[in-house]
Amino acid sequence: MDDSELETLFAAAPGDPPPATFTATQVVAASKRAQARRRSAIAVTCSCLVVALGGFGAFAVVANLKVPVPTAASSAGDARVSAQSGAAGQPLGTPERPPNAGDKQGFPPQSPMQGGDETGKDGPRAESASGCDKVDRELATALAGELPVTVSVDGASPSHLCPTGSRSAGFPVAGGFVSITLAPPGMALTLAEQPPGTKIAEQPAVSGGTIWLLSTPDGGSTVPPFADDVDRIARTVATQF
């Protein structure tokens, strides 16, 4: 190959490449923009999935809450089943509640009839119960204000003397128990036998009823608490009720 042929080949060869139209910085920026678009698309997709799943869960909860309303027939059947179950749990001939076994301080298990005639009545029937299940807060407050020691009204206990229709309250104190009862007008109350040493005071109340104050000693003692104050307390409280 001679020089002329070489010159022809060099002339036919391509020239220098054109300069680049972008820089490395532009390439990096474009790559970051593409990544940001992909992340946005993924976030939108996840949000749509969360919303869809939340809606499905709410629908499932609402569907589960749709409990069928019982009909009158089913309610009656349930009542019969409950009644039969209750009857099966209670032996025949056995009372639903056992009679009171008497108070631990020696009060009688049954309440005597009060009054002077053969029927045991003098006006309303008076019953001396061995303990009550309700404390009269007004009587408890009045009694607490007259006791020679400090007691809390919130710590009042049911009285051992609670005729039908009466109001009563009591306090456990050092050496025994002090209780007060307000019998309604027209009730002639005769106390049952009390523990040895019990101090009793009876006073007419201004309302027409009768105040009974009992100071009962603890078991094994015959000295009632505040024996010298029992009459005074009964008189004072009677003027308030």
Domain boundaries of the chain, sorted by first residue: 22-93, 137-238
Distances (CA, A) of 35 to 24, 29, 45, 186: 17, 10, 15, 98
Q: What is the pLDDT of residue 7?
A: 73
pLDDT at 8 over 70: yes
pLDDT at 203 over 50: yes
Contact 111, 129 (CB under 8 A): yes
Q: What is the pLDDT of residue 5?
A: 73
Average pLDDT taken over every residue of the chain: 73
Q: What is the pLDDT of residue 239?
A: 96
Q: What is the pLDDT of residue 42?
A: 84
Of 122 and 25, more confident: 25
Angle CA(33)–CA(34)–CA(40) in degrees, nearest 5? 90
pLDDT at 25 over 90: no
- Position 144, amino acid: A
Measured between its terminal Cα atoms, the distance across the chain in Å is 146
How far is C-alpha 150 from the chain's CA centre? 29
